[in-house]
């Protein structure tokens, strides 16, 4: 079976104004997956993460990535039972350290993908382009991505917002 890897950052990237500070993405993802019943709390214990710190926080329901077409193809394979998604983080410096697996998501997880456009190529005008063509508050997308709106805007400020992005959902949640 194919395994697709999705790495999440434990710290803000060097291009972000909060470079080097903790993102808490691992705990936020775990809190959502534990509360959704997709993984057991012992995963957090194995990773030495105190989940009592994260259950009152906003969980990370999804991640936003460039290259919608690639992620849509991968998620379709996962939904068809032909692949799994391995969510990981870097143990140290990104791309120069070992990856640590948080969990694996399969077709039973509810994993999904939605296409995300930015109207007028502005980050304050996100549009989910499904059958409803729904405008979503940028603060809601940021919150569900585990970020404040300010951090979300700074994270994606160098992205080409004229190209569609993928919102990769870890559970059955959709906009």
Domain boundaries defined on the chain: 2-169
Using the 8-state DSSP alphabet, how is residue 174 labeled? -
pLDDT number for residue 3: 98
* Per-residue pLDDT band at 40 (split at 50, 70, 90): confident
**Mind listing the pLDDT tens digit for each residue in 121-161?**
666 666 665 656 677 888 899 999 999 999 999 999 888 88
How far is the C-alpha of 47 from the C-alpha of 89, rounded, in Å?
Answer: 11
Residues listed for the chain: 175
pLDDT number for residue 46: 76
**Mind listing the pLDDT tens digit for each residue in 59-98?**
899 999 999 999 999 999 999 999 999 999 998 888 889 9
Indicate the SS3 state at residue 154: helix
Q: Give the global pTM.
A: 0.88
How many helices (H) and strands (E) the chain has is answered by: 5, 8
Nearest partner of 135 among 155, 157, 116, judged by Cα: 116
Residue 154 is encoded by which pair of tokens?
């700074």
């Amino acid at each position: 079976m194919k395994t697709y890897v999705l790495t999440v950052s434990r710290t803000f990237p060097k291009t972000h104004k909060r470079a080097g500070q903790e993102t808490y993405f691992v705990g936020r993802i775990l809190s959502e997956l534990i509360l959704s019943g997709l993984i057991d709390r012992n995963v957090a214990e194995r990773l030495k993460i105190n989940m009592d710190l994260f259950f009152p926080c906003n969980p990370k329901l999804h991640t936003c990535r460039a290259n919608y077409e690639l992620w849509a193809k991968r998620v379709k394979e996962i939904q068809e039972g032909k692949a799994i998604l391995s969510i990981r983080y870097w143990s140290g410096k990104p791309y120069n350290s070992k990856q640590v697996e948080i969990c694996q998501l399969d077709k039973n997880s509810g994993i999904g993908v939605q296409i995300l456009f930015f109207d007028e190529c502005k980050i304050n005008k996100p549009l989910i382009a499904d059958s409803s063509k729904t405008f979503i508050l940028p603060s809601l997308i940021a919150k569900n991505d585990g970020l404040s709106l300010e951090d979300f805007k700074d994270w994606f400020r160098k992205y080409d917002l004229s190209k569609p992005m993928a919102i990769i959902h870890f559970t059955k949640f959709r906009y």
